[in-house]
Chains A and B, each alone.
Chain A
């Protein structure tokens, strides 16, 4: 009966009903849209902020390095050791969430562990050499692009993931190498390794170089070197790669027109070119060729090689081959504290992580590596541990164990010199495997350059093979800290700069650009809030109007009902039901409209955040959020109505009737 009364009132004042419906619908759509947008913005900005992490290390300031002046320390502060005091100062800061010291050295296992891996590769290579172009290219590439740098290391993993998952990156037999080179049809050993110097094309050197007969046709015949490669021997090559065909410079294009296929230049592999080139090469291997070896940090010329400023390919192979089975030994007191483990990019697949309390001969090895070599938790494994550093330019060069004099740039040479001066002989040590670590990113393509290679072995800090009494230089790149909040970078800077400056150090903090984006992120939140607040205000007004029209304005009916003995509850329902039906309809239509209107808002938001942060931020306006705001509206309306009705419900009918006279 209440519903009947209510509906009659609705239907018999159609203009009022319709106008109220329109008003509520419009305001609902705006409110729900803005509300959902606001919530989504908060969430998305929150998750965008989650991408940021500020951390850093301590770097020497110039004054601290008078004695090293020779090596221009201002350009290479990362090679200057830290003092314990500096480290302690950072560790005591209230902004520091955690910090860790790790030391890395090279080690190797004895050959026997590798028979298993070697066999299938050997078979693959010898089975159909000359015909296995496609697959062999992968094998060849995997072999060629050994993990000299982080980028090429990634590529090796990528390539290995296709062909020989987890295989120790760069072993190869010459047959395989040969088979992987389309331009070498297997006859003789006339592998021509072409070389040219891109960076020099505008320099005097380029044109004065006697090897350059014609612009853009700079090549050197390394076949003599290759001739010395003995088939059946295991080689270990370190190169980098880049596509020539896709380089814009015309010289490369000219070069590539000399052959039928684009060339992949093994000297450089940059993320922006290289990876894709390799993908293209892998998809269509016959169409690609491989050219050129190179040294390390600069583009080699034949003159460089002649002058022995750069190691020859042959020597390079020779030296590296000596230590083919290498491990990257990471000595750390707190394995779980390593950034990548904290991020979950790497995790403990079995057993346990090393803990600060660990000491002595325990280790954690890669799960895949263990599987390939038949190791399990509890087994013992022997490593030849040397104190050679594998630090170079602050990054890990896993494969470059015995660094060749004259090959490394000066500053790195300093480091090596300092270590080898101690005259430490490699020692064999047996470690018990207490845990297996694994990489959570199974797609090798997605793995970033900083992923630990599978030959990484984690060892307790005190296992670091440094002779007693000898000073262990603590390199900046081996100490790192993470801030509690990315916005704390400035705070810790002002907290510690004085103290550290006195010690001769400064902070090197990377907040991943948070400081610059912070303002934009705050603005996004604020503008979403303003929009939402404005719409909330509009909603309140609209609800007030609706309540006024359908409740306040119907007080006369209410008074008469009460005077006729209608209970408060039924009288309330007589007024409320219609309004609720009207509001529910309006909210439903409004929500639907909001969904349509804001259908792109999530994507736009995501795009803006992605633009601001450079991260792949996701944001979607979810239906539950929209519904929640719609429901919230109804609740709010009930609240308004209840407030209005409570006041009249308390009054005796006499007062109600008189008030409405």
Chain B
């Protein structure tokens, strides 16, 4: 059964001539790594944002576990059921790597000490050293920052990961690392991982590829 699905979802930005996402229907399942590709401005990021509950569609609905997310508390949905990895990392600049990862944990009520322990584990699992954990994002490389962002996304324990161009700012080596981590999450831990990318090589490494064009989504592979 689909973990998360879209049903005839249409979304227009205020003042835009045509919808950014146009009547999209699609199911995403657990244990699968998805890629959404398409030219710039085709509506990929908007699609991901709608899946993440950052806004509600104008028409149609986003279903999670078969229920419309609009019927529930969107804050709770974002906090506990999905995790986002943003294109520009979006780490809190004045929190250390460790504190950044602790944030979603403490947000759901995990005690400070326990949160730190788990954050350390997560950061270690994405290859961040103890010393790097104490640094502020500005003092980390792009690849390190993206790994911290992944660790932060994993911290909430949500089984759906939505990543917008997670490799967009990374070199080949780092790109490979990040995709490996995401692929292993899907394969080994049954995560549903959706990656928006314009990198064909990245798309090649995923299980399912969707193409977005002018707000319309079609399955490519």
**Does B198 touch A at the CB level, under 8 Å?**
no
- B56 contact set on A, CB distance < 8 A: 652
| Least CB distance, B156 to chain A, in whole angstroms | 8
Q: Which of A557, A560, A654, A661 contacts B55 (CB 8 A)?
A: A654
**Does B78 touch A at the CB level, under 8 Å?**
yes
- A13 contact set on B, CB distance < 8 A: 94
Judge whether B107 and A1 touch: CB under 8 Å.
Answer: yes
Judge whether A8 and B84 touch: CB under 8 Å.
Answer: no
Judge whether A655 and B76 touch: CB under 8 Å.
Answer: no
Binding site secondary structure of chain A: helix
Chain B residue at minimal CB-CB distance from A566: B107
Given contacts A1-B106, A564-B107, A654-B55, contact A8 B75 (CB under 8 A): no
Interface hits, B87-104 → A, CB 8 Å: 88, 90, 92-95, 99, 103-104
In Å, the complex CA distance between A657 and B95 comes to: 19
Judge whether A565 and B107 touch: CB under 8 Å.
Answer: yes
**Does A563 touch B at the CB level, under 8 Å?**
yes
- B80 contact set on A, CB distance < 8 A: 565
Chain A, interface residues (CB within 8 Å), range:
20 to 34
In Å, the complex CA distance between A556 and B90 comes to: 8
| Least CB distance, B26 to chain A, in whole angstroms | 19
Given contacts A563-B78, A565-B75, A565-B77, contact A8 B54 (CB under 8 A): no
Judge whether A563 and B88 touch: CB under 8 Å.
Answer: no
- B70 contact set on A, CB distance < 8 A: none
Judge whether B92 and A564 touch: CB under 8 Å.
Answer: no
- B79 contact set on A, CB distance < 8 A: 564-566
- A564 contact set on B, CB distance < 8 A: 78-79, 84, 103-104, 107, 156
Judge whether B104 and A9 touch: CB under 8 Å.
Answer: no
In Å, the complex CA distance between A565 and B77 comes to: 7
Judge whether B49 and A557 touch: CB under 8 Å.
Answer: no
- B84 contact set on A, CB distance < 8 A: 563-564
**Does A519 touch B at the CB level, under 8 Å?**
no
In Å, the complex CA distance between A208 and B99 comes to: 110
Interface hits, A551-588 → B, CB 8 Å: 556-557, 560, 562-568, 570
Judge whether B77 and A653 touch: CB under 8 Å.
Answer: no
- A258 contact set on B, CB distance < 8 A: none
Interface hits, B46-74 → A, CB 8 Å: 46, 49, 52, 54-56, 74
Chain B, interface residues (CB within 8 Å), range:
20 to 34
In Å, the complex CA distance between A556 and B95 comes to: 13
In Å, the complex CA distance between A654 and B62 comes to: 15
| Least CB distance, A11 to chain B, in whole angstroms | 9
In Å, the complex CA distance between A565 and B95 comes to: 18
B100-121 vs A: 1/0 string, CB under 8 Å?
0001101100000000000000
Judge whether B107 and A661 touch: CB under 8 Å.
Answer: no
**Does A12 touch B at the CB level, under 8 Å?**
yes
Judge whether A8 and B99 touch: CB under 8 Å.
Answer: yes
- A5 contact set on B, CB distance < 8 A: 92, 95, 103
Given contacts A564-B84, A565-B75, contact A9 B94 (CB under 8 A): yes
- A560 contact set on B, CB distance < 8 A: 86, 90, 92
| Least CB distance, B54 to chain A, in whole angstroms | 4
A1-36 vs B: 1/0 string, CB under 8 Å?
100010011001100000000000000000000000
In Å, the complex CA distance between A567 and B77 comes to: 11
Interface hits, A643-661 → B, CB 8 Å: 652-655, 657, 661
| Least CB distance, A106 to chain B, in whole angstroms | 92
Judge whether B49 and A654 touch: CB under 8 Å.
Answer: yes
| Least CB distance, A14 to chain B, in whole angstroms | 11
- A567 contact set on B, CB distance < 8 A: 75
- B75 contact set on A, CB distance < 8 A: 562, 565-568
| Least CB distance, A561 to chain B, in whole angstroms | 8
Judge whether B54 and A652 touch: CB under 8 Å.
Answer: yes
Q: Which of A12, A653, A661 contacts B54 (CB 8 A)?
A: A653
| Least CB distance, A81 to chain B, in whole angstroms | 89
Chain B residue at minimal CB-CB distance from A11: B94
Given contacts A654-B54, A654-B55, contact A557 B76 (CB under 8 A): no
Judge whether A565 and B76 touch: CB under 8 Å.
Answer: yes
Enumerate chain A interface residues (CB-CB to B < 8 A). Answer: 1, 5, 8-9, 12-13, 556-557, 560, 562-568, 570, 652-655, 657, 661
In the complex, given contacts A8-B99, A560-B92, A563-B78, what are 7 additional A-B residue pairs having Cβ atoms less than 8 angstroms apart? A13-B94, A556-B90, A563-B84, A564-B79, A564-B103, A564-B156, A565-B78
Which 3 residue pairs spanning A and B have beta carbons closest together? A565-B79, A565-B78, A654-B54
24 contacts between A and B (CB under 8 A): A1-B106, A5-B92, A5-B95, A8-B99, A13-B94, A557-B92, A557-B94, A560-B86, A564-B79, A564-B103, A564-B104, A564-B107, A565-B77, A565-B107, A565-B156, A566-B75, A567-B75, A568-B75, A570-B107, A652-B55, A652-B56, A653-B54, A657-B54, A657-B86
